[in-house]
Each structure stands twice: as structure tokens, then as C-alpha cells.
Structure 1
């Protein structure tokens, strides 16, 4: 913002007040007037707790929304493939299968392994977005080239033959592998190898380990929907799989996914708070509810440092869970 007129809280989350350190809401405070009173108290550096709670709310909402957006995209993709095609509905030519497999390996190697040093340097100098986009464009270009070469395989009989892929089996086994590892343990392991503490990494990692439930719910719904009359009618009319899946099946199967997303956002807020409480994942400059809650350990008598951040976490998680329950009852 450019300017604020009579802000309800005249402090920022990083503004120290050395005259009021570890002051509770009901303690005597050294302020010019009631306007500058710390209504929820201060921490060990004199930071206003109310301002810190608002800053932490922004982080919590950002983590919940962005991480579950990533998880939703991944879950929708895998769940749709597993539920709609099953184990025998997806067929692909051997040439396309071989070239796409080679393209994936080559794209990963040249876009991320060869450029690994460039990406690491970009992380240190805040240029990750541009370099990551270059890697993604390179990866997409290699995959496009691999699919373009499929045209030349049509002249070879063995490569032209179409084979079935058990997508349902492969995706469900992948889900079981990810589910077999405790989420918090996997998150701690991945965050530990990150070259720099950043909220961006936390959001991406949470999204990468929280897509399984979305995929499973969508798969179960599509297994029911794909045999309904209007889907059979679409096939009889010669509609493509893409049109049937994205135009008819997926819109009618999205309900359970919204329920899972609401519960997933609550889980993401808890995971981020746990990481912040342990002092990992988020940069030292970030203000989060978990970090505020951890400050109560250094001064056990400062009850407000445990009550208000803990209450904020409890209210947010409860509200998201109630939202999920309300969606499930509709």
C-alpha cells in the first residue's frame, strides 16, 4: 500500500518496541496513548502480536491456497486418467510410447540436470522464476520434438502397433508408494535438501505430497460415471475421449474433489505451522503462526504467545474442516 489512514493496528509485524518487551494484553505498557497500545501483547523483541498474527494469516492462507492448487492440478490429471481409462481403455502406439519415454528422460536431463547449476545460482540471486521458465520451455520443446518424430514411426509396422497401458494400476501403485511414507517425515526430508529456506519451496513440496486423496476420490467418481448412459451416448456419437472426459465426465465428478481440497487446505496450514514451529522451511524474515507459537517456549509465563497464535491455527483449521463437511452434505 502507499498510505494508510488511521490503521486499526499502528504497527507492522517487524516493528520493534524495545520499551514493551514481553508485555501482556493486561500489563502496564509504555505508550504515548491508547492508540499505540499493544492489545494482544508483544514478544521478546517488542513486536506487536496483533500485527504478527495478521502477517501470519497471510502466510497461512497463501500456503493453503497455492499448495492445494498444485495438488489439485496433479490429482485431477492422475485421477482422471486412472478413473476414465482404467487398465484397458488407454492405447498408444509403440513408437509414441518409446519416443515419449525418451523425451521425458532427455527433457529432464537437459532442462534440469544440465541447468542445475544455473537454477541453483538463480535461487541465491532471486532469479529463479525466469530460469525455471526457461527450463520448462526447454522441457516442453523436447517433448514436442519427440511427439513430432512419431510421424516417421508410422512406416514401421512394429512401432505402429498400438498397445494398452494399465494407467489405473500404475497410478494406484504410485499413490500407495507415496501414502506409505508419513507426510510430515517426507516433508522434513525434502525441505532439508532445499538449498534455501523459502515459502515457495514449502508450498510446492506440500502440493507434491498432498495430491493422492484428490486423485483417489476423482478416480472413484469417474469409475461410476464412465458407465452412465450419457457417457455411453457420447461414445456412440463418436465423441473423442478428450471431449467426453473434459466436457461431460469431469464436470460431474468434481464435487468430491472440492471436499478434499477444503480438508487439504486445513492439513496444509497445520503442516506449515509445524515446520515454522520447528524453525525450518520458512526464511528467518517470515512471520508465521508456528513461529509465534514457538516463541512461547522461551518465556513460559508469556501465555498470550501460546494462546493467540494457537487459537488462530485452531479457528482456521476448524473453519476449513467445517467447510469440507458442509460441502459433503450438499
Structure 2
């Protein structure tokens, strides 16, 4: 009897050249692929029909200016005055002092520098208004004024907007300068749909939505929509899909750290989470080289459970019994005589 190869690992063993002693059966590969494809398609269609996300309408400046004109005007005034979140964000948009998240001397946000320079007053308000067929006179008045005067105008108009509890904008006054006219013209442009195109980038395809998303994010309209869909950071909302069903579930680990202390209240939470995920990713990549971690599969041999049929076939079988010389010969059955 030819002995079966031992399952113990030896240097130089080549799994490819080992003979297969498990069960062998024929199958039609084309039939298997076809049946599998049909089953997956039916399951996909069924799951989408039951658990599919609602078709939410696109968020536009037109919907924002029509549904919440006061919030739009307040955000536009903050963009003009340089007090919005984008205007004070720091790299990669501007050089706002002390705006970056740091951990001791580590300042990852400043490493790339200002790669996407954004002047909120010009890029979000003045430049779009200059694309109108008739440029408002307020644009010229604003551009001719100095920074202190512009700051005084936006500060006064911003306070008036904050004090207004209704939906109508405060009436124009001399203390506000051209700001009310600028905001009114920008609101009209947004309601007509022209502001979406003006902020969509430059070139033939106009696919750069960075400025549009930043402008939307500076107001409360976009944040309120996210909160209603449970997509904000404190609602485990690291998703890119609308509706009540999760989009990219692999982001749960990122979002997990934002829900627990000390990360949930840390001013540099983004930097801390990025560093932790970087360390975890590095450990995962270096598992084959870290003693202890690389031997976990031997301690927990799940592979033997998955390929149990193969390992069962590789067990050595007991050798057949060999009769001894001193053992009596077996009796022969009597022959039938006819």
C-alpha cells in the first residue's frame, strides 16, 4: 500500500504538486456561472425593492433660497464678511491663523498648504454676480471699498439678520452699504438656478462642486436636511447615501470613535481618528511580519474547518492486518456435491 503524504509542514513542500485525495466530481462551469448570475440578479432586485433607498431630490441653491431665504441671506453675508466656516477653516482653503487641528507639534492639515485657495466673498458672491448679463451696481461699490468698511457693512447687516425672526429680509439702510443689494441679487440668482451653474467650476464639463458644497455646508439648510436623514456625525451618519438605510458600512469604524470620549469632545478629533485608523491599517498590512499576530491562524485554525473535507482525506489510514505464520489457516467452506 502506497503511504499517503504526511500533513505535517516541511520545508520545501509544494501544495501545488501534492496529489488530491478528496472527492472528485464533474460539473458544468458555464451552467454554474449562469445559474449563479441569475440568482444574484433576482436577490439584488428583491432586496432593492424591499430595502432600497428613497429617491431624494438633489439639494440645490434654488431650493435653499426658496425654502429658507433668511438662512441663505445670513450665510451669504457671512461669506462676504469672511466669518463663515469655510472662510475660517484654514488649509487647504486659506491661511487662517490657529485654525488647524494639531497634536503637539504634529500639524497634518498644514502639510499640504493652501492647495484650493478660496476667497469666500469673491468666489461665492461677487464672482457669480459678475456672470449676470447686467452686473449689479452694488458689486462695483463693494469692490471699491476697503476691508474695514466692508467688515463694518457685513457686521451691521449680519446683526440685523440675526434679530429678524421672520422670513422677510431687513430693509436697506445706509449702515449696511451695498450688502442688502448684493444679497438680494444673489438670492434672485439662486432662485433662478443660475448660482448652481456659476459655482460648479470652470471648463467644458463643470464637474468641480467644491465651492458649491462648501457654500451649502456653511448654512443650516443643508445640515438640517442631513439631521432629518440621520446622517450627521453624532447620529452615526458617515454615509454617502440618502434615506434610512446605510450606504458604505465600512465607514462604521471611523464613525465609532466620534461617538465615545475623549474623541467626541476633542477639538482635534479628526486628527486623532485619522492617526488611529492609520495605525490600525498599518497593523493589518504588517500582520505577516509581526511575530505573534502572524501565528493567530495556527492558534485558531478556521482554515481547517473551511477545508475540512481535504484535511479529512489526508488523515493516514490504518494499515491492513497481516496474518501471522503461527495463526491457524482459515477453514474452507465445504463444497456442495451435486
Bin of the TM-score, shorter chain as denominator length: under 0.3
Structure number with greater Rg is: 2
Give the TM-score of the pair, scaled to structure 1.
0.22
Greater RCO, 1 or 2 (C-alpha within 8 Å, sep 6+): 1
Q: Which has the higher helix share?
A: 1
Give the TM-score of the pair, scaled to structure 2.
0.22
